[in-house]
Amino acid sequence: MIGFMSRMRDDMTRFVMEYRFAVQEILTKVTILREEFLHLHHYNPIEHVTSRVKSPTSILQKAIRKDIRPELPELREHITDIAGVRITCSFITDTYQVLEALTSQDDVRVLTVKDYIADPKPNGYKSLHALLQIPVFLSTGPVDVTVELQVRTVAMDFWASLEHKIFYKYDGALPQQLVDDLTDAAATAAELDRRMERLHTEVHGADGRNTGPQTDIDDEVLRYLWKHAR
């Protein structure tokens, strides 16, 4: 038993490490996208990014609840939310743009996509969910690791965060009046998203980018470039 527990501890440490590396890969991709949007398009659709990786204890607790054998291949196949990345965007159109930019990359394999923005959950929850599989390159070779990605607006994130806290406060058994109030609040958040995006479009145009003059090149360099461009 002692030998089994020792091996399991070492295996789980390496197992969780793979998921940490996968999250780092996704975060690197997001950082590159932010830089590109900001410097080339003068617009950054990403407000903030959070991430998490379940602890070995949390993984095994979920395995117990789902009656999954404590073997790494079983855990890898049946527990798909070990690693998670959440991207919060300014507007609804941004969520789709960011998801498309990430999922279209050659080394990202899309397992599933659930559009809870177009088709919200009954309680009003909205977000884009995707299960992505990316290779993590270790000294022993590449390992395909699954990461759960969520993309939502600021308003959606605000509602979901409060709903989550209230849900656990009542241990999942919410009074009907509270359910109705949360559903109404979700509709209000959705209307706020629509109104703010409409205002943004009126100011910045349909593509939402700042097309005004933005450059850190001084006048002498500009004259030099203009001379040779002709």
For the question of residue 77 being annotated catalytic, the response is no
Name the nearest CA neighbour of 189 among 109, 124, 122.
Answer: 124
In degrees and rounded to multiples of 5, residue 185 shows phi and psi of: -65, -35
Can you tell me the distance from the alpha carbon of 183 to that of 187, in angstroms, rounded to the nearest whole number?
6
Check if the beta carbon of residue 20 is closer than 8 Å to that of residue 53. Answer: yes
Check if the beta carbon of residue 131 is closer than 8 Å to that of residue 148. Answer: yes
Check if the beta carbon of residue 106 is closer than 8 Å to that of residue 162. Answer: no
CA dihedral 99, 101, 102, 104 (to 10 degrees): 110
* 3-class secondary-structure state, position 53: strand
The separation between CA 73 and the C-alpha centre of its own chain, rounded to angstroms, equals: 25
Opening angle at CA 128, ends 122 and 130, nearest 5: 115
Active-site choice (18, 25, 148, 163): 148
* Those residues with Cβ within 8 angstroms of residue 226's Cβ, 6 or more apart along the chain or in another chain: none
* Those residues with Cβ within 8 angstroms of residue 162's Cβ, 6 or more apart along the chain or in another chain: none
Catalytic machinery residues = 148
